[in-house]
Structure formats: C-alpha cells, structure tokens
Amino acid sequence: MDGGTSFFGELLGSIAERGRALLDLGRERRSTGEARTASVAELCERLLSGQGEASGVALAQEILAAYAGLRSGERIAFFETLAQDFGPDAARLDKALAAYAAHPGARSVAEIHFASEPRRQELIRRFNLAPGATARLVAMRADLLGFLRRRPDLAEVDRDFVHLFASWFNRGFLVLRRIDWSTPANVLEKIIRYEAVHEIRDWNDLRARVDSPDRRCYAFFHPALVDEPLIFVEVALTRETPSAIAPILDTARTPLAPETARTAVFYSISNCQTGLGGVSFGNFLIKQVVAEISREFPNLKEFVTLSPVPGFRAWVEAQLADPASTVLTAEQRTALAGIEGTQAPEAAAREALRPVIETLAAHYFLIARSPKGKPVDPVARFHLGNGARLERLNPFGDLSARGMAQSYGLMVNYRYIAEDIEKNHEAFFDRGTIVASPQVRKLARAEETPKPPALREVAG
Amino acid sequence: MDGGTSFFGELLGSIAERGRALLDLGRERRSTGEARTASVAELCERLLSGQGEASGVALAQEILAAYAGLRSGERIAFFETLAQDFGPDAARLDKALAAYAAHPGARSVAEIHFASEPRRQELIRRFNLAPGATARLVAMRADLLGFLRRRPDLAEVDRDFVHLFASWFNRGFLVLRRIDWSTPANVLEKIIRYEAVHEIRDWNDLRARVDSPDRRCYAFFHPALVDEPLIFVEVALTRETPSAIAPILDTARTPLAPETARTAVFYSISNCQTGLGGVSFGNFLIKQVVAEISREFPNLKEFVTLSPVPGFRAWVEAQLADPASTVLTAEQRTALAGIEGTQAPEAAAREALRPVIETLAAHYFLIARSPKGKPVDPVARFHLGNGARLERLNPFGDLSARGMAQSYGLMVNYRYIAEDIEKNHEAFFDRGTIVASPQVRKLARAEETPKPPALREVAG
Amino acid sequence: MDGGTSFFGELLGSIAERGRALLDLGRERRSTGEARTASVAELCERLLSGQGEASGVALAQEILAAYAGLRSGERIAFFETLAQDFGPDAARLDKALAAYAAHPGARSVAEIHFASEPRRQELIRRFNLAPGATARLVAMRADLLGFLRRRPDLAEVDRDFVHLFASWFNRGFLVLRRIDWSTPANVLEKIIRYEAVHEIRDWNDLRARVDSPDRRCYAFFHPALVDEPLIFVEVALTRETPSAIAPILDTARTPLAPETARTAVFYSISNCQTGLGGVSFGNFLIKQVVAEISREFPNLKEFVTLSPVPGFRAWVEAQLADPASTVLTAEQRTALAGIEGTQAPEAAAREALRPVIETLAAHYFLIARSPKGKPVDPVARFHLGNGARLERLNPFGDLSARGMAQSYGLMVNYRYIAEDIEKNHEAFFDRGTIVASPQVRKLARAEETPKPPALREVAG
Amino acid sequence: MDGGTSFFGELLGSIAERGRALLDLGRERRSTGEARTASVAELCERLLSGQGEASGVALAQEILAAYAGLRSGERIAFFETLAQDFGPDAARLDKALAAYAAHPGARSVAEIHFASEPRRQELIRRFNLAPGATARLVAMRADLLGFLRRRPDLAEVDRDFVHLFASWFNRGFLVLRRIDWSTPANVLEKIIRYEAVHEIRDWNDLRARVDSPDRRCYAFFHPALVDEPLIFVEVALTRETPSAIAPILDTARTPLAPETARTAVFYSISNCQTGLGGVSFGNFLIKQVVAEISREFPNLKEFVTLSPVPGFRAWVEAQLADPASTVLTAEQRTALAGIEGTQAPEAAAREALRPVIETLAAHYFLIARSPKGKPVDPVARFHLGNGARLERLNPFGDLSARGMAQSYGLMVNYRYIAEDIEKNHEAFFDRGTIVASPQVRKLARAEETPKPPALREVAG
C-alpha cells in the first residue's frame, strides 16, 4: 500500500518546481558533479526545515533518488557535506553550554545533549520517511564504510549512522525465521551469497545445509528490509562435539535422525549487511536459536560451535619471524617449517604436528593478548564475550587451503552452557578471564613455565 | 518463534540467583515497595553493564515483569530513579566538556553529544530486547505521562522516551492497512474503543463506517505492536463537501456508488496510543490515505476534512466575560445569550445565529492568536501546519451536546490541495499566515475595521 | 488472480453474439420468463457440448449470472429442465443395457454406470468452472431444497447435487480453523448468524464464547468458499460433566484456568450452509476437535456433549394423547399435567418431576424406536451413530422456553471415549444397540417390566 | 491443525486391535505378500461399511500406510481386488435393472446409475478422509497407470480414478499462482524437475525463465496438494512472433522492456503429476494466463505458442518407408536423405531443405489424419481443440538433437485470438476443420493436386 501515486507525484512536482526556483539551479549548473551534490545538500536543508514536515516523504524520496545517481566522488562530497554542514547547531550548543555553566542540573545537561546532537541524525531519520528508505540507508552507510579508510575525517558521520542503526535494529524489532527448503529462492540466494565462513558452492550444497533432517538454518530479519537476512547461523545436529568441518559439509553423508542427536553445532555464522557493520546481532541470534532448537529437540545436551581461528597462523608466523620470541621451541620451529604454503600435510605428518599446534594454540588463546589486553583472535573475542567457554582445540579440523592459510587447519569448539553464560561473560569483561575447559587449560599449563602474570583463568 | 524456553528459563534462573547473591536482597527487604523499586534499579544497572550484553534478553524480561508488578507510587519512584541515577555519565561529560574547551571541533563536539546522552536512553533501548517489550514500553510511558502533571521534575525522562519513540516509530517503519469488515475483531474492537471524535456506539455503527461502499478506514501499524493500531482515519466518499456530521454518521443512509463520488471527507482522526503522545503520525497518515484513495477512485477531485473546533466556545465565552473585549458587538452578545447550555437551538434560532457564529469564527481563525502567536484552535494548528487551507465554516454542523459544548455546534472543512501543500505549510511556519479560502477571508474582512496588524493572510 | 479481464470479456462477447445468432433469441422472446429459462437451458446445452470446452469458463459465468437474475418461478422451471432434459443420454443407456445383457462383465457394467449418469452431473461440474461458482452452486441447491417439498419430482436433481457435493466437500478437502477474537469480523458475524442451538445475542455474547481462556470454537472451511464456515462447534472446558446450559452460557462467570480442566464439553454444533444439507461433517469435526484440544491440554480426561433432546416432549405428548399407551403411569400423567406451556416449573416442582422425566427419558432413548427401528431422537441418532454413548440424563438442564418446548428442559450428555468409538458405532449400526452408561441403563431397567424384545443394550 | 494426535492414536490402536481380532490375521499370515494385500482389502471393506463412518479418518490412514508398504506385485494385487471385489453391488444393480424394465422413468434410471456405481468410487472417496490423502491417491494412480499397459483388465479401475479426479480437480478448485524468484525453493525445484519440453539445466537457467522482466511463469495449484504445481506454462514477452527456440532460452540475451512487447509467447507447457494424466488443465491455464498477462501489459497484441511437432519425423519416415506413398516426390526423398540422424544440417543445407519441410508439414497438419480422423500431431490436437489456429511453420526452429529427432527441427506457432476461439473450436469438433492462417493454407494448396476429400479448412 505504500507505492507512489499521482497525489505524491503532484506533491513532488510542486516540490521540484519550487526547489528549482528557490535554489536557482539552472540547467547548466546542474550538469556538474559539484552542483549535483550542492543541490542534494540544499534538498537536505529543506527536509530538515519546517517545510520538510509537510512534504517530507516526497523530499526524502527525491534526495535518495538523487544520491543513487551520484558517482563515487560525488558521494564522498555528499558525506563531507554531512560532516561539515550538518553537525550540531552551533548557536544552540553555545547557549546550552553557557546555561549549563551557569546552572548545572538535569535540565541544562539534557539541553546540552539535544543541542549537541548533529543535525544529520535528524536528517537521516527523515531520509527514512521515503518508502524503502531503510534498505537504501543501509547501502548508503556501506558506501561510507568503503570511503572511511581513506577519509577518517568522516568517522563522526559514521558514528551517527551506527547510533541510529543500533536503535532501529534493536533486537526487539528483529524477527527470527527458519531458513529451509520452503524459503523463497530470493532469500536462499542471499544465503548462498553471504555465507562468509564455509562457502556454499551451489544449490545442492545449500540444500544439504537447510533441508536435511539433521541440519537447521536460522536468520534474523527486520520488518523494513523485506527478504533481506541480516545475519544467519547454520546448525548441525550430531551425536558428539565434532572436531572437523569436512564431515559436516559432506553432501553425501547419511543424515542423523535428529531426535537421536545430543549436540547442536553452530558451524557457521555470517553477517549479511555490510552497511550494518558494528551493529551486533550474533550474540542474540545464537541464544535465540539455542532456545528454538531446545524446544524442538528436548534431548539435546550440548550447544557448541565449530569455529575457525582466523588469527592463529599470522600470530605463529610473527613468532617465527621474531628471533626474540620465546614462545616457540627449536623443535616447534623445525616442525612448522615442514608445512608448505596452504597445502594440507599428509596424515602421518599431521599426527606429528598435532601436539605442536595444540601447545601453540593453548598459548595463543590463553596467554597471548592484543595491545588492548584482549584475546588476539576475533572469533574468540566474540564467543567468549558472549559467555561461551573454549571447549576443545581441533588441529587440522579444516584442511582446506583457507583453513591452512588462517590457522594451519586448526578449528576450535566454543561451548554455551546456559547456567554459566552470565558468570563467564562477567569474568571475561571484568577480569579479562578466558574461560576454558579443563582439557584446554591442561595444555596451557603443560606449556607454561612459569605461569605468566597475565594468565587468569577459571574453571568453565 | 520468540517465546520463552527452558534455555532462557535456565539463563534467567542463573541471573536471578546471582542477582540475589550480588544484591543481597533478603525476603524481608523485598516485601517493601522501596526495596522493590531499589531492586529494579539494581537490575537496570546490571542491564547497562557489560554483563547485560550476555543475558540482556532475560534481564530485560525480568525488569519489565518487575515493573508490571509495581504499584503506582513505586512506579513514580522508578521514574525518579531514572531521572536521578540514569542521567549522563558525569565524569565522561566533564572530560568531554574540557576536551571541547581545549580543542573545539567535530570530534570533541561529537563526544559531548554522546557523553551527555542520559544513560536511561541506552537503558530503554535494552529494555526493548525482551519479547513484546515495545508494547510494554509504550504503556510505561503512558504511566509516566499520567504522573507528569504533578511531577514536572520527570520531564527529562519523558523527553528521552519521546526521543527514542520518534526514532522507533519513524514513518518509514509504519505500515498502512485498510480497516474493513475482514479485519480481525480484536483490531476492530480497538477502533471502537479509540475513536475519540465521534463515538462509535456499537458493532453496527462500526460496520456502517468500515463496510459501506462509500466509507473507508485506514490505520498505521508498527511491526512490533501486532494488532495495535497507532492512529486511524475515517473517510466518507461524497458528492459535495459536507457541512454537517449527522448525515455522515447516519447508519440508515443509502450508500453512494463510490465511483460517482467527487469528494473524500476525512471526518475523524484518532490517536490510539496514549504512550505515543507527542510522536506525530497524523500528517503522514492523511497524505498516504489521499494517495491510496486517489489510486482506487481516480475520479475524486477534492480532499477535505469535516473537523470540530474544540476551542471556539471557550474563546467566545472569554470574550463575553471580558467587558474590555471589542470583539463582540452588543447585538452579538444578545444573540449568544439565547443559547442555553449544550442544548441545540431550534432551526429558526439557528438561522438567526448563523451570521453571528460565522463572523466570530472568522475572527477566531484568522485574527485571534495564542500567546505564542499561533492559531488558538489545536485542530487548526494541525491541519494548517500540514499545509491544508481553511475552506469553509459550517455553523451548527454538529448539534450534539459535545459539539454545542465545544463550539456552539460549529464545524469547519480544511482542504488538502496537492500542489499548494508545500506553499501553504511554508507560509504558515515562516510568516504565520493562515491560508483560507476566499469565502472565509471575505467573512473576516467584513468584520474587521480597521485591519489589525497581526492579520496576515494570503489567497489559498 | 482469478478475476475477469478484457480477454474473457471478448471471449464472452463472442459467445453471447454467437449465442443469439445460433439460438435465434429475439428481444421480445427474451422478455418473458419462459424465454429466459429456455435461453439458460440452451446455454447449458452449449456448455455440455464440445464447444463448451473452449469457452467453458465464460459460458459458466454467463449461466450463473443468468440464474441469479431469475425469479422464483423461473428457477423452478430451470430445475424442471434439469430434471427432464438433462437426465442420462437415453440412446447411450439403451445401448449399454443391451451390451450388458449380451455380455455381462466389468466393462459392460461400467458402461451402464457412465451411460446412466444424468447429464446434469457433468453440467454442474462445468458450472463450477466459473470464478466463485462453488458458493453460487451451494446457494442454488439451497433454492432447490426450498422447492422440494412442493415438488418431489425434483428429488433426482437434488440427489445429483448431493452426490457431487459429497465428493467436493470430502473431509480431505476441509480445513479446520480455530475461531477466536483475532478471526475476521465477517467470519465471526456468520458464527453469530448461524448458531442454531443456543442463540448468540450480540458481540459480547460471542466474545464470551470464543475469547475466554476456558472456551474454544472451531469450524471447518472449504478452500473454494473463502470466509464461509461450513460447520462449527463450541466447546467449554470444565472440571465436571455439566448438567445445565445456563452456567456455561453465563457471560459473567469467572473463567476456569484451562490447564486445570478435566472435561471438554461440546455444547453447540451448528451447520452453516443450508445448501450443504445432507452432506455430513459433524462426525469428523467432533473427532478432529477432540484431537486438537487434547494436544493443547493433555490433562483433559473426558469429552462429552451437553445436548438438547428435540423430540422428547413431542414423544411424551403423543403417549399422553394415546389412551392405549402403556408407557405412562397414572401418576406420571398427573405429574406432567402440572407443567404449563413452556414455563419452567419452580424448583420444588422440578424436584418432584425429576424422577418422572428420568424414567420417561430412559424409555425414550433406550426402548422407543422410530418406524425404521432407529432411536426417535435425531441428536441421539447423530452422536450414537458417531460412536458416542449416552452418558447422563439432565432433567431441567435447559429452562429456556425453547428447552421446555422441546424436552421439558431435559438435556443429555453423550460421551466420546476413543477406544470405544468403533465398537459402539458397530453395535449401533449392526445390531441397533443403544450404548448407554450403567446409570442410564439402570433407570431403564427400573422402568421396564418385562423387558421388551426390542431392547438391546450393552455396557458402554 | 490436521496432524495426528493421541486421540487418533488410541482410535487407531483400537481399530488395529479389533481388526486383528475380526480378521483373524495372525503374525505368520501377515508375513506373506498375499496376506498383506488381503488384509488391506479387508480394511477397505470395513472402511466402506457403516463402521467406517465412525473411524473413517483412522482407517483410511491405516490403509494408505499399508499401501505404501506394499511391493510392486502386491500393489497389482491390490488393484485386482479393486477391480474384482469393489465393482457395483450386483444384487442392488439387478434389482435396479428389473425395476427400470418394469417402470422406466427418472427415478428408476437414477437408481440404475447409483446402483451401478462401482463400490471402489466411494472407497476412493473415503481414502481421501486421511490427512494428506489426496497426494497419496494421485501417486496411487500413477502406479496404476504404470501397470495398465500390461494389465488392461485394470482399465475400469483407472476410469473410476479419472472420474473422481476430474471432479476433485475441477477448474473451479484450482488456484493460479505466478512462479517467480520469490517462490519457495521446493516449488521451484519441481518446476526444474517437471519441465518436459525444453529442459531446465540448473538454477541459473530457471532464474532466466522466471526472474527476467520479459519472462513469466504461471502454475495451477490445488489446495489439497500444497507446494505441488499441477501444470505450468512458461511465457516470453517479445516484439514479434518467434520462429526459433534458442534465442528464447538464451540466458545471455538482453531482456526486453516488457511494456514494449507486442507478443506473448507460450513456449513451454508441462504437466507435473503423472497421476493426473487424462485430467485436462492446459486449456484453462492458457486462457487464464492470457487474461492475467493482458491485464498486466495492456499493450500486448498477440498470444502465440512456439510449439514442438512431436509426430512429424515419424510420420515422414513412415511415408519414406512406404513405397506406395504418394506424399513425397523423388526430389523430396533425395533431399531428406541428406539429414544424418539427429545432427542439425549446416545453414546452407537448411536453406535447401526449408521448402521441403514446409510442404510436408503443410500436408502433415492439414491433410494427414489419424485412423480416428484427427490430426496426427498430439500438440496440434491440443491447441486446435482449444480453439487456436495454426499460424506459422518454422523449419529448423529447434536444432537440438531432440528437435531433430522429433521433427527435423520443425516448430510451429499456434495463435489464440479471443474472438475466434469459440468458432475455431466448434469448426474443429463439429466438422474436423483445421483452422490455419492464410500463409499456411497457401503452402498446403501449392502442394495438393487435386484437393483430397478429407481436407476441410476455413479461413482462420
């Protein structure tokens, strides 16, 4: 019911006409990129003004259409304008700061907050008046993220996008939907496209992941982004905690009768929307899916991940390259030297390497820290931060070139135990503790002599 | 798919247990209102802390359930806590102000904005993690509005609710749905209950308004508030601009073949959610419905309202009571003295009173101003602010007791003309102009000698 | 997607034009009823012919529209035509009979079957080609049923309708839907209208029956009759088997927490479509709803009805009027003489009458038989035929005027016990046994001396 | 809401138990195929008996489950039983025949019809009581069709299935749905699998056919067969009537802006359900889709097919093999001898062969007849019978091996012209006329000297 009509057509016509008059935009001027950006900026000013209220939907539509027509450089110019011209109302802010200085208090501090709000926040809210605007705004921010590396001066604009998106995409507005073989093809196609961890090769591979009795896939959706998954997770139902990814991805395997499964394995979590980077859903998704699957299969006892370790090999290679590093023994150095590129070693060689990888991995997870004092591994930061514990190290769990390149093939399991989640999370954030299973801690203990002061661990 | 489960049950169990331990909340202490509010406040602190991230959904659920169990005084105490203890982080704000003073710039001003954000904003966002939270938060704010008159110190809390709701209930997230006889009964029942202008007496009366070929009803819904209309409008399709409400509400009338209608009459607009007061939808609803109906009936030429004039009689009576007022002539005073209470005058008396009412109404709309320089009438402010023009005055258009009490029975038509909406809106906001049709302006001119300086009008 | 279009418009135009040419239907002839019916008959012949296949949808549409325009007498004429002109193809039947006489066998007997099929069966199937035809055909048969009393010669036509409807409305095509407060108003309105046992007074009464935690309502729908319930049942969840209807219908009662209920009471079953009379759904509905409710409330132990006894008073009065009847004792005759019209007796009088009613009711159910040897009571025939047993007699269970008129206020419970249904049903159909609970059988035994040969009973 | 429950479980348990008792089916006897079939037959008898009414749903479920467990030979035995033991009730039929002989009339002839109905018809109707039965019955008939070639004695059973399916799958119960990229994958997968004319190679090929702006796909569905298309048609929107299939199937082509199309081309129609063979939907589907597309694109002027000619090459080869055939000239024989197997000739050779193919094709369509006097080609019989006309011959329109094997690559266009459909259809069925465009008739005339008596043609 929200499509365009001649009523909005006329309204838009009158806006455009008045726009040209007000803004004195002659044809020749419009033909240059600078003029185009300028004109979009002027439309933005009008959208923010009182006028914007009367014809906001139409104005927002026009601006988003204009933005879509801009070339890359013009888009950067558009974001520059947002940064420079749509910051806070300076006069109002000065007044608010003065009032606060004179009479500090709840009212004057609140006024500081509202006065210091960049005008672009309200502008972005008004962009969202147009039909279909939310998807376009998410795409707009994806553009911005692309520019951000070379243009750190646009970071404040990005911060405002993130602030708004965090509010709009609040978990309370998300809808969990199961993805299966009766899901529309246009959604499934996006699952194929967005799978970021273990590539889905084709529709048969997809089907094996969503349409087997022992597989499940769930995604979060937002009502304003129809048919666009935000994030999805792939789950395998198994008897045991798995130690390798290949058997799980094997399309020729015999499916397990799901009611006989003991374990639910989260073996892939992928974000779908670049433009929503920094807005976190994964934590909620995992917990919601645990709840969902528990209800369907009351016999499940364990909820674990089978996760990649994307920073491991780089970290080991940094130790190798650093003659001062005491992490590696000479034997370990020799052993690792036998690994050629991203070629998976033979079975025999793997057995020999296994203890080397395990020892190093225990150090990597439990002892090594980023400059900010966090675990080095980003996936570890995610799951440990969610309250999971590090359950098991699986050397050569992923023999693909990618797995070898990231982590010499190492995979790990994180485990979610309902009654420990809060405690683990708190230990991680308050005291930097890495909660690990006894078997992992034992590996670390074997390795460390003496125990470095940074290591703080608890029983999981 | 978002119901509770034993997984969340256990998570919640562990939260509650740890909560009792951490907070040392013995049974006896819990039994007093003060303690209950305190405990809710403590849960709020935890929800905002890092811990809250791991178990946010469960914590938010617990807090909302706890709030639901509070009595009135305890709820006030809860809002006091939000006001006093969940303002901005003072230390961070001081630091931000100092940094800005030292180095004013985009970054430091942005930091002021985020540092001055009251912590309750994030808190309310996290409340929304719980399933069904949005409806509960809207109800929570309805409570707050009820307390606000006696407790103006809570106004800052309310301002934060409004700020968040304006973002969450952005028009881009609203869905327009037609209300008709195939609408679920639980929604229709709310239409009956929320109709604020012309009471719907029973289901037959409702049916006459939503299920006649020459009647339409539309409402805005939000995806997070299932089956809860936010605002709805009732529309009659007629040949001419109507001058009285009774024929429109007459359930025994013969319906018009809608394709022969020339005019769409918006005869009732009702907000449904007290808790969303101050978040404006009406402007968008009217324009969207005009678009919708135009598409269905391309023959429609005119879009008008038939509106009450809620401030008119009070304004006239203030003039009557003020011996210094020059607005009323002696004849007018005499004529009005004949009206008894809310009893509608006889037909003959009405004819005699008609020019008196018209003259005074023209003054009321075009000349009288509130202390802030706005039109006195709230309905006028709404439609004129939307870009409509004042089209016609209809003395005795509503002979009900309510109509007589509000306006001596006066109703008016506002008219929405697509190509004038922007211009009218701008004239109203920029120059305070009341755009009126020639016939209304003529009535005002006849009346005024000499023209007061406040009157600024243009041709509609 | 099934609406009309200009393609079908043109096709229809060409049909109509050619129709007029072929059939030589001048304007003047069309103006009489006879001609109109004739013309419909001619269109029917064309629909049945090879031509009909090419343009069947359009032709069927035209015929149904024409039928809708016929007056009552013309409709009778239309059915006469179906009876007389659209019987079996006589030549084909003669040939088939001769072939069968010569060579009796599977093939020749099958040919008799197909040759003896009245042509109107295929005609009605082709009527159904038109969009929305099924509802119109059900209405057409409702017309036919109305005519049937005075026109028994149309019975064969009716038999063909029933035959087709039994196939089309096969239980396999029906969909069970719960009726509750989120059901569209146009469906709920039909529930109010079609309730045939205990009138629903208004929307509040309806709501008490479908929107209380201890009430359920379910209906069967057919995909081709959108928003048209075929039959529905109202269920109360109670602690005990109820003995009176008033407490169940009481809108002011306090609802029971449904999970504490032991008993599901089917207190009203209503058919909605006159035109589907003779096509039986009730049996399936009850069993499906038992299954549905058992799943929702596993604690339920008993599934009973609270049913009217519509033939009881008439049967008693026939005994009273028959001086030869030995069913009634003199005391019983005297006691019954105290009942005045449809006025419910006072409490004291009721107590005195109770054993009289019980004794007579036991005789009525267990001993009395219709000329065909079936139970006299139609409701008894339905439930006993479904495999229920007669559980309890409730004198004065319905003190309304209607209840008094039908049965001196008597109501009964029939009980559905899953493991006995087949056995009971079989006993009823094979041996005419009325399965009753021990307490009912005891009442009958007390009464009968000596046991008449017709009484065959088993333990339920 | 129609799944199984413990209520039906118990009912079924009681049925099975009583079944074993009644039927004396010991374990050892059950172990042989004969016994299994016998036991199914006994269950069928019970389902037909009065008992079946009480527990029909459960009995039907048991029978269908038992059938699913039968092996091929046992299934044949099951159909033999249906043929031999579930024919008409012989006694009732004899009585009816006698009554008819004594008093022929509407009533007695109707009784013949109902008495001669094979009991298996009602049996199949009762099978359909079980949840999901319709799909199983369609599969059952697919089995039967497979057996029919070797077991022509089962033809009467098949005739009864067809009779019932024609009633159940009446066009009035079918739902037209567009197939596009938002269709669930399980439906799309069936489109890939069932495409019978021009194979869909993979999901990309599928997408090109359903998700291009100038392509459409529509299917009929039946409410009782969820997610199972019955028949579908693929449509291309083009500027001109196409003469070859390759450009239409080309996934790399540039799509046409659909509003600029003049022609809708039905280039593939596929039935999906073997078990519904002989129940015709294609005629309705084409006309409904023409209506649908016309509404979407009012600019379309022409509705044509691009159809294969599956009988052409076999017919030509029969002429070649028959020395007495006068259809072929010596030159034509020589030309055709140059075609090697299913290898498409080179472009130059094709030009030389074109007039040969055209002349023979004109003869094939317009003059040649099957023994029953119909066109030889089955696709021609379908479209001409629907009222289309033969529009154009396209030699080498399909150069695939399949196209060469069927028709030396010949394809044809049939054209649907709304105002001629009835007339064409009638001419075809009443007088055997092949309606063809002037250009096709001209080719035939050139060829024939003198005109054979069988040729009857009219201007299309």
Across C119-135, average pLDDT? 94
pLDDT category at C50 given cuts 50, 70, 90 is low
Q: In the predicted model, is pLDDT for residue B200 greater than 50?
A: yes
- Say which of B383, B400, B407, B437 is annotated catalytic: B383
Residue A389 CA to residue A393 CA, distance in Å, equals 12
Residues B248-285 pLDDT 10s: 999 999 999 999 999 999 999 999 999 999 898 888 89
Q: How confident is the model at residue B454 (pLDDT cuts 50, 70, 90)?
A: very low
Interface residue D99 vs chain C (CB under 8 A):
no
Residue B25 has pLDDT above 60, yes or no: no
A 410-429 residues inside an 8 A Cβ radius of B: 418-426, 429
Token pair for B294: 């135009």
C156 touches chain D (CB under 8 A): yes
Structural domains for chain D:
2-168 (1.20.140.90), 172-305 (3.40.630.180), 308-455 (3.40.630.150)
Residue B26 has a pLDDT of: 36
Name the least confident of A214-218, C201-205, C340-344, D445-449: D445-449
Whether C445 has a pLDDT exceeding 90, the answer reads no
Query: What is the band of D307 on the pLDDT scale with cuts at 50, 70, 90?
Result: very high
Beta-carbon separation of D227 and A186 below 8 A: no
pLDDT at residue B12 greater than cutoff 90: no
pLDDT of amino acid D282: 85
What is the percent of chain A with per-residue pLDDT over 90, rounded to a whole number? 69
Split at pLDDT 50, 70, 90, the class of D162 is very high
φ/ψ bin of D373: left (φ > 0), alpha (ψ from -120 to 50), beta (otherwise):
left
What own/partner pairs with CB < 8 Å and gap ≥ 24 does A59-63 have?
A: A59/A15, A59/A126, A60/A126, A60/A127, A60/A128, A60/A129, A60/A130, A60/A133, A61/A4, A61/A8, A61/A12, A61/A130, A61/A131, A62/A12, A62/A15, A62/A16, A63/A127, A63/A130
Q: What is the mean pLDDT of chain B?
A: 88
Beta bridge partners of C215: C236
User: What whole-number distance in Å separates Cα of residue C451 and Cα of residue A191?
Assistant: 77
Determine the pLDDT at residue A22: 37
SS3 (DSSP) at D449: coil
Return the pLDDT at B326: 86
Q: What per-residue confidence (pLDDT) applies to A445? A: 74
Q: What is the pLDDT of residue D453?
A: 40
Q: What is the pLDDT of residue D324?
A: 85
Average pLDDT on D242-249 reads 97
Predicted confidence at residue B9, as pLDDT, reads 56
Tell me what the mean pLDDT of segment C146-171 comes to.
94
pLDDT tier at A34 (50, 70, 90 boundaries)? low
Percent of chain D with pLDDT over 90: 69
Is D184 within 8 Å of A186 when comparing Cβ atoms? no
Contacts of residue A111, defined as CB under 8 A and 6 or more positions apart, other chains included, come to A96, A99, A100
Specify the 3-state DSSP secondary structure of B86.
coil
> Could you confirm whether C307 is annotated as catalytic?
yes
CB < 8 Å to C202, chain B = 203
Contact at CB, C185 and B188, closer than 8 angstroms:
yes
Report the residue of chain C nearest B207, measured CA to CA: C185
Could you give the ipTM of this predicted complex? 0.85
Dihedral angle, C-alpha C375, C376, C380, C385, nearest 10 °: 40
**Mean pLDDT value across residues D406-426:** 92
D194 pLDDT above the threshold of 60:
yes
Say if residue B29's pLDDT is above 60: no
Q: Which of C307, C325, C363, C437 is catalytic?
A: C307
Task: Label residue C305 by pLDDT band (50, 70, 90).
Answer: very high
Residue A158 reports pLDDT greater than 60: yes
| Mean pLDDT value across residues A412-437 | 90
Q: Which residues of chain A from 24 to 43 reach within 8 Å of chain B, CB to CB? A: none
Smallest Cβ distance to B421: which of A54, A110, A116? Answer: A54
Closest partner CB to B184 (pick from C184, C189, C202):
C184
Average pLDDT of chain C, as a whole number:
88
Report how far residue D231's alpha carbon sits from residue D221's, in angstroms, rounded to the nearest whole number.
8
Are B195 and B233 in contact, with CB atoms under 8 Å apart?
Answer: no
Per the CB < 8 A criterion, the answer to whether D220 and D229 are in contact is yes
Average pLDDT, chain A: 88
pLDDT value at position C340? 85
- Taking only the tens place, the pLDDT of each residue in A262-321 is 999 999 999 999 999 989 888 889 999 999 999 999 999 999 999 999 999 999 999 999
User: pLDDT tens digits for C229-277?
Assistant: 999 999 999 999 999 999 999 999 999 999 999 999 999 999 999 999 9
Chain B, window 192-221: residues with a beta carbon less than 8 angstroms from a chain C beta carbon? 202-203, 207
Q: What is the DSSP letter of D23?
A: H
Is pLDDT at C365 greater than 50 in this prediction? yes
pLDDT, one tens digit per residue, over B83-117 is: 999 999 999 999 999 999 999 988 999 999 999 99
* pLDDT the model gives residue D55: 75
pLDDT of D27 > 80? The answer is no
Cross-chain residue pair C110–D156, CB shorter than 8 Å: yes
Using CB atoms, which residue from B202, B203, B227 is nearest to C182?
A: B227
Contacts of residue B387 in chain A, CB cutoff 8 Å?
Answer: 54-55
Give the residue ranges of DSSP H helices in A198-300: 203-210, 246-249, 282-296
Average pLDDT over residues A350-365: 95
Per-residue confidence (pLDDT) for residue C25, from 0 to 100: 36
| Structure token pair of residue B271 | 């907000």
Taking contacts as CB-CB distances below 8 angstroms, the residues of chain D near A188 are: 185
| Higher-confidence position of B15 and C283 | C283
3 state DSSP class of C82: helix
Q: Evaluate the omega torsion of the peptide bond into residue D450 and state whether it is cis, within 30 degrees of 0.
A: yes
pLDDT given at position D10: 60
Q: Please give the average per-residue pLDDT across A14-19, as a whole number.
A: 49
Q: Verify whether the Cβ–Cβ distance B156 to A424 is below 8 Å.
A: no
Cα atoms in the 13 Å half-sphere on the side-chain side of A400: 14
- Asked if D183 is an interface residue toward chain A (Cβ–Cβ < 8 A), one would say yes
For an interface test with A, give the residue of B55, B94, B157, B168 to mutate (most A CBs within 10 A).
Answer: B55
How many other CB atoms sit within 10 Å of the CB of residue C3? 10
pLDDT of residue A290: 92
What is the rounded average pLDDT of the residues C189-203?
93
Q: What pLDDT, on a 0 to 100 scale, did the predictor assign at position D452?
A: 39
Between C223 and D34, the higher pLDDT residue: C223
- Of the listed ranges A319-323, B112-116, C311-315, C426-430, the least confidently predicted one is C426-430
Q: What is the pLDDT of residues A98-117, one digit of tens each?
A: 999 999 988 999 999 999 99
User: Of B182, B184, B203, which is closest to C203 when you measure between CB atoms?
Assistant: B203
d(CA B407, CA B310): 6
Q: pTM for this one?
A: 0.88
Instruction: Show residues of chain D in contact with A203, CB under 8 Å.
Output: 185, 202-203
Cα separation, A317 vs A338, in Å, equals 13
Mean pLDDT across the stretch C143-171? 94
Predicted local distance difference test score (pLDDT) of residue A429:
84
For B31-71, write each residue's pLDDT tens digit. Answer: 566 666 668 888 899 888 865 566 788 889 999 999 999 99
The amino acid occupying position B223 is P
What's the pLDDT score for residue C22? 37
For B382-407, b/e burial (b = at least 16 CB within 10 A) is bbbbbbbbbbbbbbbbbbbebbbebb
